[in-house]
Copies of this chain bind each other. A is one copy, B any other.
Amino acid sequence: MKLNTSLSTMPAGYLFAEVAKRIKEYSASNPDAAILRLGIGDVTLPLVSAITDAFTIAVQEMGTPAGFRGYGPDFGYDFLIDAIIAGDYTARGVEINRDEVFISDGAKSDVGNLQELFAWDAKIAVTDPVYPVYVDSNAMAGRLGQYVDGKWTNLCYLPCNAENGFVPALPKEKVDVIYLCYPNNPTGTVLTRDQLKPFVDYALENDALIIYDAAYKAFITEKDVPLSIYELPGAKKCAIECCSFSKTAGFTGTRCAYTVVPKELEYDGVSLNRIWGRRQATKFNGVSYPVQRAAAAVYTEEGQKQIQESIAYYLENARIIREGLVKAGVQVFGGVNAPYIWMKTPDDMKSWDFFDLLLKKAHVVGTPGEGFGPSGEGYFRLTAFNTKENTQAAVERIVQIL
């Protein structure tokens, strides 16, 4: 059987598997250590009642002859699509049509699958550090060349670091696709409208595509930061936008997301909306009906009020981390429009060494920056997804060992 060798030779292990392994090993020999986790970007607050109420009603419906639903529309129910358009776009002056929104089980699935739209030799650019899925999904398709010394030979890296204020430069070469994630995972930094505009202009001029991952948009607090790339003129001609309920409404374990593929998006006369629809209709069978009802409840008045409280809670944690570290003299980024804080390691320590130090001396878990790409070396990610008490305790412990 002829194997996909691009997949079979992938470098081992997803970042968080290694993190989990080191925690497990340490815990096994130190069972009394009370470890505080600011590592994986996973929400901790329960689903709000507006959501569980709608979810429960839909489950009950499924148990009745009149309310039962079998296969739903491949691209999602109109009740959810309409709620998304009204709540996330029309309210902000962006016009999106029903057949431009594709409901899915997660932004990870969508950003992983979108590369199926590209030729095997399309040239890809990513910001660095980066959410690993953009890179790995393209590598598995054989698009990135070889993995040598922690870098893919045929991937265009756009470094983001303290020196450039985490505003990536435009690609120096012509690329076909640029992945942008803002607010950014892992750095928690953002691009203002003015800083994003050059990327839209580049894409329009170079017939390139932007995959815009806006999974963390619910955390945006500053007015000059766009909530959608489509706020920028011309973006509908060059960008796909991926959004998720995971961080917006605590859906990491409930699973629902959506991706916008505008009808205006055409390359060589081919509509990406049409071919993404073809892909989804062939390899995906829609999202669970009760889950879609739960997601629609996010946009009710009560739902909005409740999820905003959760987001405020996480943002307060981010503030505690940011200010605690700044006070201790640490160079810190992000955490204002995002649940992630990106810190410089002390004395330019290697990020995995700092991980081990923090685990062993402070019993605090974060994520080593190097796991997100070469430019992540020397940085470390902390997340706001824990209780306020644990967050405060973790910051105190970190500060003590610095």
Contact = CB atoms under 8 A, between A and B. Distances in A.
A401 interface: no
Interface in A227-286: 250, 252-255, 267-268, 270, 275, 278-279, 281-286
A140 interface: yes
B255 A14 contact: no
A64 B43 contact: no
Question: Looking at chain A, what size class is its interface with the partner chain?
Answer: 35 or more
A118 B121 CA distance: 18
A300 to B, nearest CB: 15
Contacts of A56: 56, 59-60
Interface string A110-129: 00110011111111000000
Contacts of A176: 1-2
Given A46-B65, A65-B46, A255 B285 contact: yes
Contacts of A281: 14, 17
Interface of A: 1-5, 7-8, 10, 14, 17, 40, 42-49, 51-52, 55-56, 59-60, 62-65, 67-72, 105-106, 108-109, 112-113, 116-123, 132-133, 136-137, 140, 142, 176-177, 207-209, 250, 252-255, 267-268, 270, 275, 278-279, 281-291, 294
Nearest to A51: B63
Contact of A112 (B1, B43, B283): B283
A289 B253 contact: yes
Copies of this chain, count: 2
Contacts of A106: 284-285
Contacts of A17: 281
A286 B52 CA distance: 20
Contacts of A123: 2
A278 B112 CA distance: 12
A5 to B, nearest CB: 7
Nearest to A66: B46
Contact of A3 (B43, B118, B285): B118
Contact of A47 (B2, B63, B136, B275): B63
